Structure formats: C-alpha cells, structure tokens
C-alpha cells in the first residue's frame, strides 16, 4: 500500500479486485494506516453515481473496486421500482425499492438463485449459483438511494444460507462511521434454518425476524419447501421463538394459505396452538394464481376462518392479499423472466438467450414473505 496516491496508479480494469464496500471500518483503518489523503470511511457509501476522483484514485491505489453492480433494467409500478443489477461475473440479482411517505424500503438479494426450491417462488427454480459478498449486498442499499430507511432481506436467496456475508453486510450498514443505518430498520426474512437461527440468537444486532412457515406439519412443509426437508418444523419454530425471547422481540411467521394443501381447520388450529402465548404474530397471505404454477387462489372463507381461529387464541394476525402483477406489492416478487437473465453477457450486459428449463417457461411468481 503506497503512502500517497498517484493518478498513474489508475487501473483500466480492476473487476477482479475486492469491493471496497466489503470492508468493515476496522479493516478500512488497517488498510489506510499511515496513508496520506485517505478518504473518510463514510465516503465509500456515497449514493452518487459520479464518485470523486480522489476516492477513485485511492481505490485504485488500494487495489479495490468502489462499485460492483451495474443497473441493467428498471421496472416501475405504483410506489415500487424493481431493479436488475448485473454482477462482474455476469450473473444478475434483483432489488426492489418501495417508496413510502415515511421513508423508503430496500428489498435486497443475498444470493444468486436459491437452493431451497419453494414451490411458489421463482428464485428457487434455477438453483443456487453463488453467494453474494457483503459488499454486493451493501451496494444494493447504497444504489437504492439515501432515502432508504428500512432494509428487508426478501429478494433473491435465503439469507441464513449465506450467513457470514449477510451478518457482515448488516454490521457494515449499521456502523456509525459509515451508513449509520438504524438498528431496528433491518428485517431478515427466512425459511428458518435451525443451526443458523441458533447463531442469530447470539448476535446483538437489533434485527427483526420473519419466518416463512407456510405449514403446520412436516410433510406439507416438505412439499412446499423441498430444500428444507431436513429441517424439523418444530425446531424451526422453537429456534425462532427462542430468538424472540432472548431479544425481547416478536417474531413474525408468514403463512401462505393454499387451498387443498394447508387450509383446513386442523391446520388453523395447529397454527394457533403453535403461536398462542408466544412472542409471535402471524401474517396470513393469499395466493393469487400466476401462469405456470399449479397453485390456486385462496377463497375468502379460508382467510376468515384462519384469522378468527388465530384471534380466538389471542395471536396477533394480519391478512395480506398479494396483488397480482403490480410490483407495488412486490417485495420479493421475482419474475422468472428475470431469472432467465441470471447470467448476462459480459461487456454488452445483454441477457444470455439460453433456454430455461421447461418448468421455468413463462413462470412468473412472487416470494410470499412478510
Ligand atoms: S422463498 Fe426464499 S427460500 Fe424459498 S426458493 Fe424463494 S428465495 Fe429461496
């Protein structure tokens, strides 16, 4: 590391270099020990596309990349904006910005693809390609702009399946010397991996936790979330409730009601029994059919029966009706036409035209989290 910065050190291509946004403040200090003209740590998180030359010179001299994501497409709908970001290795991930009067919400991805293959989610159809680095997660938030007040891990990928990088990203985002992101403004939405829930319990991060439960029996959950077959449903719930107890918070369980699958009175009663008297609330979600997925719309009477059963047991409950193709409802609504573009041509950033698997054709769906 040089002790001063020279324009001649600017490299024309540093795409393989480490992302500066991967650095914690401590690592940043260590890297810059004794360096004259060093930028502030906060300067790394500037939302401006045109970064100062001094910062660019510093990054080049340090062998770092300042940015790693390239906006490929933007899809606007209502108050939401869905952005497809290209990665340097030609993969792509999606983020959603939801505009609200009290601040914006960034719905971010944590992996390229997903290993869990949930029946109702496009993200899992293509399998897991790779984890995102902490910096690639942080950069999604940075690029979504300075008005972001809440971050939800509901984009592509299972955040607890990329635990190290997700927690590192959260620490970077929360650091007072950098983004200084509000502690309670970050939500991890997960299917609930027992081992990593146990680790999360021991972290002091002030997070919110949402568990995509969707079933009250092991066999139904195994059908809906094939990648989670080895996770005992009772252990998932117990670990999540243990996290809530330890942190004196309420955990949200999301239950997508699917007719003929998980919508009986017995299901509702079991769900109420699981949640009654616990630090838990339930978000009931209605499935709206999408082409290519053989799941039906939940009738009103099922929603009402579930809600009443839960309320009768004293469980706080919210009913959410997803709104078709409007991306204003689309936190995590990941259309497979985008997943066809998980890999894009280097240089041109055009999507590859490789044929999707038969089951993926024209599939468009959402990820039914909170
Ligand atoms: S719902 Fe979540 S865990 Fe399931 S396939 Fe989609 S991203 Fe993965």
Q: What does the pLDDT read at residue 359?
A: 23
Residue among 179, 203, 331, 362 flagged as catalytic: 331
**For atom 5 of ligand 1, which residue has the closest CA?**
124
For residue 57, give both structure tokens.
Answer: 């010179």
Q: Count how many domains the chain has.
A: 2
For residue 231, give both structure tokens.
Answer: 């996770």
User: How far, in Å, is the centroid of ligand 1 from the Cα of 177?
Assistant: 33
Residue among 94, 136, 139, 158 flagged as catalytic: 94
Residue 4 forms part of a structural domain: no
Q: How far apart are alpha carbons 62 and 32 in whole angstroms?
A: 9
User: How far, in Å, is the centroid of ligand 1 from the Cα of 109?
Assistant: 11
Verify that 246 and 315 share a domain, yes or no: yes
Segments forming the whole domain that contains residue 49? 17-67
- pTM comes to 0.85
Verify that 88 and 49 share a domain, yes or no: no
Whose CA is closest to 99, among 74, 79, 77? 79
Verify that 62 and 77 share a domain, yes or no: no
CATH of the domain at 349: 3.20.20.70
For residue 170, give both structure tokens.
Answer: 């959260």
Q: What does the pLDDT read at residue 368?
A: 55
Verify that 169 and 47 share a domain, yes or no: no
Atom of ligand 1 nearest to the CA of 115: 8
Going by their DSSP bridges, the two strands 92-98 and 70-77 should be labelled as unpaired
Q: What does the pLDDT read at residue 17?
A: 84
User: How far, in Å, is the centroid of ligand 1 from the Cα of 157?
Assistant: 6
Verify that 74 and 196 share a domain, yes or no: yes
Verify that 124 and 166 share a domain, yes or no: yes
* Helix, strand, coil percent content, the chain, rounded in steps of 5: 35, 20, 45
Whose CA is closest to 286, among 311, 304, 272? 304
Verify that 225 and 315 share a domain, yes or no: yes
Quick one: DSSP state of residue 160? Answer: G
Cα angle at 73 between 142 and 370, to 5 degrees? 65
Of 94, 108, 120, 124, the one to substitute when testing ligand 1's pocket (max ligand atoms within 8 A of C-beta) is 124
Verify that 168 and 23 share a domain, yes or no: no
Verify that 208 and 157 share a domain, yes or no: yes
In sign, the C-alpha dihedral spanning 216, 218, 220, 226 is positive
Q: What does the pLDDT read at residue 361?
A: 23
Ligand 1 binding pocket, CB closer than 6 Å: 114, 116-118, 121, 123-124, 157-158, 191, 367
Verify that 104 and 179 share a domain, yes or no: yes
Whether residue 331 lies in the annotated active site:
yes
Task: Render each residue's pLDDT in the chain as its tens digit; 370 residues.
Answer: 333 333 333 333 335 689 999 999 999 999 988 878 789 999 999 988 889 999 999 999 999 999 999 999 887 777 888 899 999 998 999 899 988 888 899 999 999 989 998 888 877 777 899 999 999 999 999 999 999 999 999 988 999 999 999 999 999 999 999 999 987 899 999 999 999 999 999 999 999 999 999 999 999 999 999 999 999 999 999 999 999 999 999 999 999 999 999 999 999 999 999 999 999 999 999 887 766 677 888 899 999 999 999 999 999 999 986 543 333 333 333 433 333 344 544 433 333 322 222 222 222 233 555 4
Residue 256 φ/ψ, nearest 5 degrees: -85, 115
Q: What does the pLDDT read at residue 10?
A: 31
Verify that 79 and 203 share a domain, yes or no: yes
Crossing angle for the helix pair 300-312 and 265-275, to the nearest 10 degrees: 30
Q: What does the pLDDT read at residue 34?
A: 82
Q: What does the pLDDT read at residue 24?
A: 97
């Amino acid at each position: 590391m040089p002790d001063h910065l020279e324009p001649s050190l600017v490299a024309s291509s540093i795409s393989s270099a480490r992302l500066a946004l991967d650095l914690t403040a401590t690592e940043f200090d260590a890297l810059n020990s004794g360096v004259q003209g060093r930028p502030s740590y906060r300067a790394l998180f500037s939302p401006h596309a045109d970064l100062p030359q001094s910062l660019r010179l510093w990054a080049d001299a340090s062998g770092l990349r300042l940015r790693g994501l390239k906006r490929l497409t933007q899809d606007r709908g209502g108050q939401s904006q869905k952005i497809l970001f290209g990665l340097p290795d030609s993969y792509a991930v999606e983020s959603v910005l939801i505009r609200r009067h009290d601040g914006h919400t960034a719905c971010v991805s944590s992996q390229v693809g997903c290993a869990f293959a949930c029946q109702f989610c496009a993200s899992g159809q293509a399998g897991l390609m790779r984890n995102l680095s902490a910096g690639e997660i942080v950069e999604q938030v940075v690029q979504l702009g300075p008005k972001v007040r809440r971050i939800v891990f509901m984009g592509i990928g299972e955040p607890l399946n990329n635990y190290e990088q997700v927690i590192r990203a959260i620490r970077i985002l929360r650091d007072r010397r950098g983004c200084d992101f509000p502690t309670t403004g970050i939500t991890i939405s997960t299917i609930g991996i027992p081992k990593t829930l146990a680790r999360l319990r021991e972290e002091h991060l002030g997070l919110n936790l949402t568990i995509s439960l969707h079933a009250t029996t092991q066999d139904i959950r195994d059908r809906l979330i094939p990648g989670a077959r080895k996770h005992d449903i009772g252990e998932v719930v117990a670990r999540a409730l243990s996290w809530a107890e330890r942190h004196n918070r309420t955990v949200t369980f999301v239950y997508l009601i699917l007719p003929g699958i998980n919508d009986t009175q017995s299901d509702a009663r079991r769900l109420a029994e699981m949640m009654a008297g616990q630090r838990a609330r339930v978000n009931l979600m209605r499935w709206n059919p999408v082409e290519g997925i053989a799941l039906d719309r939940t009738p009103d009477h099922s929603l009402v029966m579930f809600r009443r059963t839960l309320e009768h047991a004293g469980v706080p409950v919210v009913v959410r009706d997803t709104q078709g193709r409007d991306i204003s409802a689309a936190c995590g609504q990941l259309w497979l036409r985008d997943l066809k573009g998980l890999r894009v041509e280097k240089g041109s950033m055009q999507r590859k035209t490789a044929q999707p698997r038969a089951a993926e054709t024209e599939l468009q769906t959402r990820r039914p989290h909170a």
